[in-house]
Amino acid sequence: MLATLSGIVTEKLGSILVLDVRGVGYGLHVTTEDFGRLAAGSEAKMYIYEHIREQSHDLFGFSALDTQSLFEQLLNVNGVGPKMALNILSIGTAAEVRGAIASADTKTIQRANGVGKRVAERVIVELKDKVGLAGVDLQSTGILQGEGLLMQDEAIEALVSLGYTALDAAQALKDIDPQLPTESRVKKALTGK
């Protein structure tokens, strides 16, 4: 199993990036972002996902481990294969894709080549809880407090244990005084008062 490859980008053939590793050229399927950013002659370390089928052996390369992780999460969605997952990741940065999933933005996901409304909805339903707060513009939701994120907030944890997503829990709590006891904050979030 290949985990990473480090070498020199030698060519761009169609949508394939060729990475020369000590004289061996590996053809990698990469996101649009990586394809545009990595110029011929530049050094690159790529995290690799191997997709082996009966008639092909495809390598997918990612310059960031976080992007590879999101790619693998997308592969777990029923009906999403490696090429479709790569198309979804090519609509923006990994953070933008996570944000679209976390905020249930089907129109953004549908911008990916070959992704229809049903697949976009399935991606959101299956991954919304998994991308959680990491995929949300926290400044716009008011979840930031000073420089720290309320990830360790016991009220959020309590609401999540009751079935809320992390994002929904944070949004339910955003207008409630954080100085109140956890139990009071949870009750107010549940009652909407």
Q: Are residues 116 and 144 in the same domain?
A: no
What is the reported pLDDT for 30? 95
Q: Are residues 55 and 40 in the same domain?
A: yes
Number of domains in the chain: 3
Distance, CA of 118 to CA of 156 (rounded, Å): 30
Q: Are residues 103 and 45 in the same domain?
A: no
Q: Are residues 144 and 176 in the same domain?
A: yes
- The answer to whether 50 and 79 are in contact (CB under 8 A) is no
Residue range of the domain that includes 98: 65-135
Share in percent of the chain as helix, strand, coil (round to 5):
45, 20, 30
Rounded to 5°, the CA angle 121-64-113 comes to 35
* Boundary of a domain, candidates 46, 62, 78: 62
- Give the CATH number for residue 130: 1.10.150.20
pLDDT digits (tens, 9 = 90+) for 134-184: 544 444 444 444 333 444 567 877 777 777 767 777 778 888 888 888 888
- Give the CATH number for residue 181: 1.10.8
Q: Are residues 118 and 75 in the same domain?
A: yes
Q: Are residues 120 and 147 in the same domain?
A: no
H helices of the chain, where? 32-37, 65-75, 82-89, 94-102, 106-110, 117-131, 138-141, 154-161, 166-173, 182-191
Q: Are residues 88 and 108 in the same domain?
A: yes
Rounded to 5°, the CA angle 78-137-76 comes to 15
Nearest in space to 105 (alpha carbons), one of 130, 135, 140: 135
38-50 mean pLDDT: 95
Q: Are residues 70 and 129 in the same domain?
A: yes
Distance, CA of 68 to CA of 61 (rounded, Å): 8
Q: Are residues 21 and 80 in the same domain?
A: no
Distance, CA of 185 to CA of 191 (rounded, Å): 10
Q: Are residues 58 and 69 in the same domain?
A: no
Q: Are residues 73 and 131 in the same domain?
A: yes
Q: Are residues 44 and 71 in the same domain?
A: no
Q: Look up residue 22 and give its amino acid.
A: R
pLDDT digits (tens, 9 = 90+) for 15-39: 899 999 999 999 999 999 999 999 9
pLDDT digits (tens, 9 = 90+) for 72-92: 999 999 999 999 999 999 998
- Give the CATH number for residue 58: 2.40.50.140
For the chain, percent of residues with pLDDT exceeding 90? 50
